[in-house]
Structure 1
Amino acid sequence: MARRLLEIASNSVASALAAQAGGADRIELFDNLAEGGTTPSYGSIAVARERLRIPLFVLIRARPGDFHYGPLEAEIMLRDIAQCRQLGCDGVVIGALDADGNVDTALCQALVSAAGPLQVTFHRAFDAARDLPAALEQVIALGCQRVLTSGGQASAEAGAERVAALVAQSNARIGVMAGAGLNARNIAAVAARTGCVELHASAKVAQRSAMRHHNPALVGLSPDWTGTDAEEVTALRAALDRI
């Protein structure tokens, strides 16, 4: 078995740099962690590309919520992909469904075509699909390099058996990357149970504000935030390397 690849989902440039310091093999950069992730800003992508020495993939998602997009959102995502190509990113992370829970092949093909030479990961819109085996065949036909999945469950640990079945179905035609709810305590077991050689985690911890002043009346505007911790990434990497 080849060395397993650890991708870290990073909700800021600071998180991405912490992930790199901790031993991540690849970054998925995004914004709005609490809402499932959206496309980060131009500045975030540009600075991340300048500072990172490891591959940088960018989430292409126009808004939170479902994965059924209209023409305006499609145009936004196509322009975001063009921006990622201009900035020298290594890959993009895309996904879209139709109203019936099938892969929106027309939109996704346009997104894949826009990516050109960049690698393409199909994100966890896949887990929201009506029929995962059928969706996998659709994603393979699109030409994506990998699909990120928890097997349609809340976590990759809970969906490990389904992920293993998807790995078997893929028959090396596409990479199947397990993700959601992975930590240093369970990542090795999920890797072994699923057969995945790529694993996706966030290694997130609460980050405390350095502000000495805080207005408690501003409900919903907490000064604290969540971000990737380098030590958590190191622990994830170590757990995988012990397999």
Structure 2
Amino acid sequence: MKKAQLEIACFNLESAIIAKNSGADRIELCANRNEGGTTPDLELTKTARDKVAIDLNVMIRPRGGDFVYSDFEFGQMKSEILALKKLQVDGFVFGILKEDGTINEQQNAELVALANPLSCTFHRAFDGVKNKFQALESLIGCGFKTILTSGKITNVVDGIDVLATLVEKANNRIVIMPGGGLRSTNIGLLKEKTNAVFYHSSAIIDTSEIANPEEIKALKAHL
């Protein structure tokens, strides 16, 4: 069985370099940790791409808050994908919902097509959908390669049963990536119960916004 992999959410260049040096398999680059992650600027992304040789996925999210976007914001997301694609990044992370808590299939599919041939991850907007199993099928249909989710709004431990069922129902058609409160202290349990193949953490364990190298190594050690 293929060894599970680890993605580190990085909110600055220092974290991205620490993640790479500490054995992370992939970086999710974002800005604004307090808002749950938004699109990083071009300059940060370009520098990170130059300094980090592992896979680099970039968040596409124009603002914090909900995941229902105006036409202007949707246009902004399209522009960001086109601009960031030129920097040789490896993939994008985004998610758009409708007002009723279902997947906005039309808009998501349009962004996936725009990102092609780069892979796309549907982020934790998934935790806000009403019917997760219906949403799973919608996202496979849109062309996403990965879903980042805690299983529930709270964290991966509370959502562990949902995560296990999602992995089973996905049946290798899409990667279910547990994230949200994932730490070296619980990743072993998550791996045992869910059989997921990719895991997501910020590896931030204090009040700074810097990933902790020892936490990344500890996360990797449990995989």
Provide TM-score, normalisation by structure 1: 0.90
Q: CA deviation at 1:206?
A: 3.3
Provide TM-score, normalisation by structure 2: 0.97
Matched residue, 1:173: 173
Q: CA deviation at 1:62?
A: 0.6
CA deviations over 1:71-105 (Å, ceiling 9, x no partner): 01001111111112100000000100000000011
Instruction: List structure 1 runs of 4+ shifted beyond 6 angstroms.
Output: none
- Aligned AA for 1:166? L
Q: Is the 2:152–2:158 Cα contact (8 Å) retained in structure 1?
A: no
Query: CA–CA distance in 2 between the matches of 1:205 and 1:198?
Result: 20
Corresponding residue SS for 2:154? coil
Stretches of structure 2 that go unaligned for 5 or more consecutive residues are none
Matched residue, 2:27: 27
RMSD: 1.0
CA deviations over 1:153-194 (Å, ceiling 9, x no partner): 311111010011011111111111111101111111111111
- Aligned AA for 1:239? H
Q: Match for 1:235 among 203, 211, 218?
A: 218
Matched, 1:88 2:88: yes
Structure 1 segment 213-228 matched on structure 2, within 5 A: 225-228=208-211
Q: Is the 1:22–1:233 Cα contact (8 Å) retained in structure 2?
A: yes
Matched residue, 1:54: 54
Matched residue, 2:159: 159
Q: CA deviation at 1:152?
A: 2.0
Matched residue, 1:202: 202
Corresponding residue SS for 1:155? coil
Query: CA–CA distance in 2 between the matches of 1:137 and 1:13?
Result: 35
Matched residue, 1:115: 115
User: Between Structure 1 and Structure 2, whose CA radius of gyration is higher?
Assistant: 1
Moved more, 183-192 or 59-68: 183-192
- Aligned AA for 2:74? A
Stretches of structure 1 that go unaligned for 5 or more consecutive residues are 208-224
CA deviations over 1:126-162 (Å, ceiling 9, x no partner): 1111110111010000111111111123111110100
Q: CA deviation at 1:51?
A: 0.5
Q: CA deviation at 1:121?
A: 0.5
Q: CA deviation at 1:205?
A: 3.3
Matched residue, 1:217: none
Query: CA–CA distance in 2 between the matches of 1:149 and 1:92?
Result: 16
- Aligned AA for 2:219? L
Query: CA–CA distance in 1 between the matches of 2:14 and 2:209?
Result: 11
Query: CA–CA distance in 2 between the matches of 1:10 and 1:109?
Result: 26
Q: Is the 1:30–1:37 Cα contact (8 Å) retained in structure 2?
A: yes
Query: CA–CA distance in 2 between the matches of 1:166 and 1:32?
Result: 29
- Aligned AA for 2:88? G
Query: CA–CA distance in 2 between the matches of 1:88 and 1:170?
Result: 29
Q: CA deviation at 1:114?
A: 0.9
Moved more, 149-158 or 70-79: 149-158
Matched residue, 1:18: 18
